[in-house]
């Protein structure tokens, strides 16, 4: 932050961190074998929309890049706007490594194109019986946190199971220590 920014009370958005996503490649072993969570075949990247041409160009280029990569990986890519107005790049693939690679590629390309401040989160869907776990990666903090919505309940989450999961996997992933930053993603399209 510059001196002028400090005087005027402006803050800068921290740069997006994309490299910690690769920790998912090894963490999936623990998630599956010890905790019973299995890949749900979907992941997504949430973006804060903007109307400027820089963001539009970066988003279009990133969409083209991940679409080409997805074809090579035999994955599917779709773009969607959620009920809150956020843009999503959603990836479908049974291969966990492909989902991680596509989310990383999208985040990295947007960052390189100067639109990294628009990256909000990468979300990875896991399932166990009839439960869904969303592993959410906050690009600004470079950390993961869990979100487990309760089945059949309107906007309720399983806080106890989220805390248990965090305690059991904190050595595997860079974990968000501030629980107040464990934001639920209601209506997550992933």
Q: Where are the domains of the chain?
A: 16-181
Answer whether 0.75 is exceeded by the pTM: yes
Q: Which of 149, 152, 107, 161 is nearest to 125 (CA)?
A: 149
pLDDT at 2: 57
pLDDT at 187: 87
pLDDT at 37: 96
Q: Three-state SS for 31?
A: helix
pLDDT at 118: 85
d(C-alpha 177, C-alpha 170), whole Å? 9
Looking at domain 16-181, its CATH superfamily turns out to be EIF_2_alpha (3.30.70.1130)
Residue ranges of the chain with per-residue pLDDT less than 50: none
Q: What is the dihedral of CA 185, 35, 93, 117, to 10 degrees?
A: 40
pLDDT at 132: 96
């Amino acid at each position: 932050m510059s001196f002028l920014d400090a005087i005027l009370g402006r803050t800068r958005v921290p740069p997006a961190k994309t490299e910690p996503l690769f920790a998912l490649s090894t963490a999936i072993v623990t998630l599956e074998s010890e905790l019973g969570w299995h890949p749900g075949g979907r992941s997504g990247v949430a973006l804060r929309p903007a109307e400027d041409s820089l963001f539009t160009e970066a988003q279009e280029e990133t969409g083209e890049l991940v679409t080409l990569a997805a074809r090579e990986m035999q994955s599917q890519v779709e773009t969607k706007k959620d009920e809150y107005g956020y843009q999503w790049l959603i990836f479908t693939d049974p291969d966990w490594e492909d989902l991680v690679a596509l989310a990383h590629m999208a985040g990295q390309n947007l960052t390189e194109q100067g639109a990294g401040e628009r990256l909000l989160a990468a979300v990875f869907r896991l399932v166990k019986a009839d439960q869904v776990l969303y592993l959410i990666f906050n690009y600004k903090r470079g950390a993961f946190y869990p979100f487990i919505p309760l089945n059949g309940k309107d906007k309720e989450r399983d806080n106890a199971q989220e805390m248990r999961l965090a305690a059991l996997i904190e050595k595997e992933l860079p974990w968000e220590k501030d629980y107040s930053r464990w934001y639920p993603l209601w209506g997550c399209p992933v």
